[in-house]
Structure formats: C-alpha cells, structure tokens
Structure 1
Amino acid sequence: MRHPLDVVVRIGGAGLCRTDLHIIEGQWSPITNIELPYTLGHENAGWVTEVGSAVSNVAVGDTVILHPTPTCGQCYACRSGDDMFCSASSFPGVNTDGGMAEMVLTSARACVRVDPTTRPADIAALADAGLTAYAAVKKATPLLHPGSYCVVIGAGGLGHIGIQCLTAMAATHVIVLDRNPQALELAKGLGARTCLEVVDDGTAVLKEVLEITDGRGADVVIDFVGEGGTEQYAPAMVRNGGTYLVVGYGAELRIPYIDLISRGLNVVGNLVGTYNELVELMALQRDGLVTLHTRSYPLDAVGDAIADLENGRIRGRGVLIPD
C-alpha cells in the first residue's frame, strides 16, 4: 500500500459509459494529459481485498461501490462538500488506472459499503451514471412543484436512472424524448407520463412539448444526451425563467446573451455528484426505488461491449464482469 488510506477492491462489475467513448475519441486528452496505455473504468463496485493502516470505515471482505474520485478531504472543495472539485483528487478510469480489470486501487474516502448480499455487477453503474443522474435530479427537484413539467432528453444509461429518481423525488409531469422506441417503452414502464419519439431535428417534439405545456415550455429540461442536435432544440423547450440542466456532452451550446437575459434562462452544468449523494442514491436503490437495467459482458469482451454502446445496441447500461 502506498498510502495509509489506500483500499484495493476486487472488481465485481465495471460500468461502461459514453465517457469511455469520448476518452477513446480523444476528447479528454487536453484535460488529463495522461500517457498511454492505461485502464478505463470509472463505474466500479466489488469486494475489499486489502486496506491501508489508517482505514477504519471498511474492512477486507466488505461489498462496496466506489465514488468515482478518491479525494483528499482537506482542501476547500472537500470541506465544502464539493467532492468532484477536490484539488488533489484522482479519477480512476479517466486520469489513472480504472476498474476494467480484476483489481482497482482507490481510497477509504471513496468506498460506500452496501448490503453484502448485493451483486456488485447490479450496482456498479450507479457509481457514475446513477450518481450523475441523481445529482442532476436533486438540483431540479426544488424547481418541480406539483403541476410542473420536466423534460428528460435520453432514456438510456443515465436517463433511465434519472426518470426513476424523478418519479421518486418530485411530483412533476415527466416528458421523455428519445430516438429509440425501445428506450421510450422502458421509460414508460419506469413512470414517465409522456414519451415522445424524436424523428427529425427536434422540430416536431419541440412543438409537442410546447402544446403539452400550454405554450409555456418545461420548468426544467434535463439533457442526458448533449449532442446530436439536442443542444439546438433543448433550450427552446425551457419556459421563461426555467432551467436547462446539461448532463450529457459532446456538442457545443450557443445561446445569444440577449436570449439568456430576456428569457431569464438558467443553464446549469453537472459533473457527477458528491459522496453523500452516492450514499443517498444507494438508499433509493436499497428501497427498490431505483433499479439498473443492464447488459453484462465478460471483461475480455470489452471490444464487443464498446461497439454495442457506440452503435446504440445497449438498453440501460453495459457492465463488464471479470471471470
């Protein structure tokens, strides 16, 4: 062990994320400056196999899910509860070796103990996809009073979790947009009130959303896609004074300042979530209010899994499981 708070976890499941595709495409290169080769995998769960001398919150044999960023606990961001902005954090799978392997090195501060009967493969993707979706919904819920409208763009790996969080946490009319009819069927089964298929550049669904909301637009739009044209039509779906929560990424958002000012539009970015929010999410999972829909792959089939994700063949979330 290199540090007294180090923890080694045997991986029981590693989620596959669109961020992994963006890393492969080179979008993160200017940010991380990491040297190849390194191991992907930032959605990890498994069993503790070794702990450092100062670790007291977990023990060998515990089943754990890992917050994506091991943090220092001492900097301003950590002491403010903003774990994701820790000045000394690492990000396994993004800027250091991650969990698409048999073992991963993390820290005690990243470990959340779960029920020992839990299969790590069933919860691994909650570490990022679930946490990101939950954190975005938590930001939205104070804005979603009874009678309000919330548009969810994308019912895939993040979106299907976000829909469940919304139905558990807010008395709002959930409108889900997706290009895939199967994803919309999943969304309907998870509690979405209205499901609309995107078949063009978004013009048709924009019109439908405005009709449903009596011309005002949605109180909140949560964009779990962030590319492929959503950046063009999503802001137009937000009511004056409403909020556009950006979760997915890949495109570039262009909004004239006069529109922001005259419409009172709020644009809010979302970067994963805090350790406490992961604990809260796991409480929803424990109580059966959030369930992952997954497709499992053996670790050595990672190439097939990436191809399926890239080509839209995975409903919910792909999870890699070591032999």
Structure 2
Amino acid sequence: MHIYAVQPDDPTIHNLEVPAPTPTGQEVLLRVERAGVCHTDTHLREGGYDLGSAGVMSLKDRGIEYPMVMGHEVVGVVEQVGDQVETVKPGDQRLIYPWVGCGECRECRAGRDNQCATGRNLGVARQGGYAEYILVPDEKYLADIEGLEPSWAATLACSGLTAYSAVDRIMPLDPDEPVVIIGAGGLGLAAIAVLRYRGHENICVVDVSEANLALARELGATHTVVSDEQAATQIAETVGGPTSAVIDFVNNGATATLGFKILTKAGRMVQVGLFGGEVTLPTAPVALRMIHIEGSFVGTVDQMKELVEIAKRGDLPSIPIEERPLSADAVAKALDDLTAGNVSGRIVLTA
C-alpha cells in the first residue's frame, strides 16, 4: 500500500510503498476515503512545537517513529477485521477516533484516551490517514456516520471534536454572556457552530483575516473584531465590557495575553491552539480575579460520538470544506497553504 510520510528533519512528503497490515484481535483495517488536513500536521512536519524560551519540543527526541504518516481526520471503509471484532464488518463506512491511549491507565479506563500520558495517537505515534489504508487498534474507536457527507464527517474527529470539548469547558453560561473565540479557521468556525447549537447568542470572533471573519458571521458570530493592537479595547466596546469566557484556537504569546486581559472576574480562558510561544502573567490578579486558565486537547471518544449524533439530527451547521485528491503532492500543498494562512475552513483530501 502507499503511504504519504515525512522523515526526521525532512519536510518533504514522500510517497512510500509498504505492506498493508493484517488486523488481529479487535483491530480493524479500513481503506481511507477522506483525510482532513489539520494545522497540527504543519507542526508535525516541522518536527515539534515552539516552547518559547524553553526551545522546541522535538518529536524525534520524544521517540516518535519514522516515517511518520500524519492525518487524523479520517473516514474509511472497513476492509478487514480481527477475529474478536463484533460491531463492524467489511464494507461499513466509519469515522475514526484517532486519539488513542494506552488502554490501561486510569484515564483510558474511564474513556478519556485523550488525557492518557502515553497516548498512541493515530497520525502521530501510529500511522495516520495520509495513506491507502489505516489500522485502528480497536473497534470502539469507530463511529457510524450514515447519512452524513463524508468530507464534513471527517472533520468531526478533530476540528469538530476539539471545538465541542472546548465549549463544554466554558459552560454553563447564560446565552447572552459574551464568549470570545480567537481564530476563525476550521476550529474557530466549528466552535461557532457548536455554540449556536447550544443556544448561545453573544459570540465575538477575533482573527487577522477579514475573509475568515466574514465566514464567522455567516456561521452565526454576532460580533467580529480584527486582531491588532486595539483588539482588547474593540472587544470590550463590542460586547459591552469584560468577557465571560475566551477560547483561544491560536494560543501564541500575543493571543494568550489578549485573552487574559479581556476576561471578567471568575472568567475562564481555554487554551487550545498549538502555535506556540509563551506568555508572562501577573500572579496576583489571577487570584484576585479568580481567573480560570486551562488547556484543552481534542475530546473523548464518547464526545465524538455525541457530536456525530448531533450532526445526524441536522442540528450542527457544516463548516466550509475544500476537497482535494489524496496524494503526496496534495498533502504537501495543503500543509504549505495552511502554514501560509491561505485556507478558509478545512481542506479534506479524498481518495
């Protein structure tokens, strides 16, 4: 089978041919139909994450195996199943939950694989969806998407799930309390859709791109602000004062500083993005204002399945999707476009 992979210290996407795996036990082999392209993959291709003054978190130094096959927003058709699989059969179309844990720790036993300290995520530590086939370690990580458009369904495994989980972290709120979304890419747009589904009526979106802000308004953002040096003042004027919650889908030094600055007393800031850097905060106001600052990394398999059911009911608006063919060149071009900020919505590669 063909895989589209990166090697250590080499940003080139290589077209390699390797033997297709044979599933055993509860494993399931799927033929890839759709693979969404996430900004996380741009960091993976670069080899790590920016930690500000602490340097770079190197994936190679952390023991990630190469060649690395990225791609974690995957819809596929079941090709083969292991001898213990009971819930799927060849020919079934499924969305894959990629945030696989060790299966043994307290978090995994509770169904919170995404919080596992030794996670084996598909598209990072295990082969992902930029390939002809993908091996899923357990049938429990598969969701039936019957009735959903496959390209949009693929995005629910990351951009949709990440937004859904992040919104859960700021609730409950009154519908008219101001919520600020920083970043109107695929994740930010998904968060708008989730907030509107939850009945929220005061959503302010901040981005550097006017085109992205226009998409945010189409999806239901009630206010939009261009990210610049006056953003904090403009946000306060727009929403009528400090904000109850901030979800930062960029999460660099500038946006984290902005988020902290605009929060009301006992406000909550959820940091999601992986753009990197660092931020310096005065300690006393964190206590005096009772500020909540927390990180959020994707969501649980149950949350993904809940989100799929919401989408099936027609209660969740779809974010803009641009389809491109799945190939080594297309993976490289998609990642280049994301890095350059030339993508509105989500790119999904189609086999």
- The TM tier, using the shorter chain, reads over 0.9
Pairing 1:172-191 to 2, within 5 Å after superposition: 172-191=201-220
Residue 194 of structure 2 aligns to which amino acid in structure 1? C
| Corresponding residue for residue 49 of structure 1 | 79
| Corresponding residue for residue 3 of structure 2 | none
**1:114 equivalent in alignment to 2:140:** no
| Corresponding residue for residue 124 of structure 1 | 154
CA deviation profile, 1:172-230 (whole Å, cap 9, x unmatched): 410011111111111111111111122x2xx3121022223443x11000111112621
Residue 186 of structure 2 aligns to which amino acid in structure 1? G
Residue 251 of structure 1 aligns to which amino acid in structure 2? G
TM-superposed CA distance for 1:87, in Å, is 5.6
Q: Is 220-229 or 160-169 further displaced after alignment?
A: 220-229
Q: 1:272 to 1:308 in 2, by over 3 A?
A: same
In 2, the alpha carbon distance for the partners of 1:195 and 1:37 equals 41
Secondary structure (helix, strand or coil) at the match of 2:247 reads strand
In 2, the alpha carbon distance for the partners of 1:7 and 1:88 equals 22
In 2, the alpha carbon distance for the partners of 1:171 and 1:118 equals 25
Contact kept? 2:204, 2:239, Cα under 8 Å:
no
Alignment counterpart, residue 26 of structure 1, candidates 38, 44, 47: 47
CA deviation profile, 1:120-167 (whole Å, cap 9, x unmatched): 32321211111111100112221x213311001111110100000001
| Corresponding residue for residue 273 of structure 2 | 248
CA deviation profile, 1:218-250 (whole Å, cap 9, x unmatched): 100011111262122111011111000111022
In 1, the alpha carbon distance for the partners of 2:226 and 2:84 equals 52
Q: Is 72-81 or 153-162 further displaced after alignment?
A: 72-81
**1:285 equivalent in alignment to 2:311:** yes
Contact kept? 2:266, 2:291, Cα under 8 Å:
yes
In 2, the alpha carbon distance for the partners of 1:271 and 1:3 equals 30
In 2, the alpha carbon distance for the partners of 1:18 and 1:234 equals 21
In 2, the alpha carbon distance for the partners of 1:154 and 1:88 equals 29
In 2, the alpha carbon distance for the partners of 1:266 and 1:3 equals 45
Q: 1:50 to 1:88 in 2, by over 3 A?
A: farther
The alignment's TM-score, normalised by the length of structure 1, stands at 0.92
CA deviation profile, 1:285-311 (whole Å, cap 9, x unmatched): 212213131111212221211111111
**1:68 equivalent in alignment to 2:98:** yes
In 1, the alpha carbon distance for the partners of 2:267 and 2:117 equals 32
In 1, the alpha carbon distance for the partners of 2:239 and 2:187 equals 25
In 2, the alpha carbon distance for the partners of 1:93 and 1:270 equals 19
**1:272 equivalent in alignment to 2:301:** no
Alignment counterpart, residue 235 of structure 2, candidates 200, 209, 231: 209
Segments of structure 2 that go 5 or more residues without pairing to the other structure are 1-21, 50-57
CA deviation profile, 1:72-97 (whole Å, cap 9, x unmatched): 55431123232212366421111121
TM-superposed CA distance for 1:284, in Å, is 2.1
Contact kept? 1:231, 1:251, Cα under 8 Å:
no
Alignment counterpart, residue 163 of structure 1, candidates 192, 199, 202: 192
Instruction: State the percentage of identical aligned residues.
Output: 35
Alignment counterpart, residue 299 of structure 1, candidates 301, 313, 326: 326
Q: 1:138 to 1:20 in 2, by over 3 A?
A: same
Alignment counterpart, residue 174 of structure 2, candidates 142, 145, 160: 145
In 1, the alpha carbon distance for the partners of 2:216 and 2:71 equals 26
Report how many aligned residue pairs link the two structures. 316
In 2, the alpha carbon distance for the partners of 1:26 and 1:256 equals 32
TM-superposed CA distance for 1:46, in Å, is 1.4
In 1, the alpha carbon distance for the partners of 2:99 and 2:140 equals 9
Alignment counterpart, residue 224 of structure 1, candidates 249, 259, 265: 249
Residue 166 of structure 1 aligns to which amino acid in structure 2? L
| Corresponding residue for residue 165 of structure 2 | 135
Secondary structure (helix, strand or coil) at the match of 1:252 reads coil
Residue 309 of structure 1 aligns to which amino acid in structure 2? L
Residue 113 of structure 1 aligns to which amino acid in structure 2? D
The alignment's TM-score, normalised by the length of structure 2, stands at 0.85
In 2, the alpha carbon distance for the partners of 1:78 and 1:186 equals 37
TM-superposed CA distance for 1:267, in Å, is 0.4
Q: Is 290-299 or 151-160 further displaced after alignment?
A: 290-299
Residue 235 of structure 1 aligns to which amino acid in structure 2? F
Secondary structure (helix, strand or coil) at the match of 1:278 reads helix
Contact kept? 2:163, 2:191, Cα under 8 Å:
yes
In 1, the alpha carbon distance for the partners of 2:224 and 2:39 equals 23
In 1, the alpha carbon distance for the partners of 2:45 and 2:230 equals 33
Contact kept? 2:151, 2:348, Cα under 8 Å:
yes
Q: 1:32 to 1:43 in 2, by over 3 A?
A: farther
In 2, the alpha carbon distance for the partners of 1:207 and 1:235 equals 13
In 1, the alpha carbon distance for the partners of 2:110 and 2:66 equals 34
Residue 224 of structure 1 aligns to which amino acid in structure 2? F
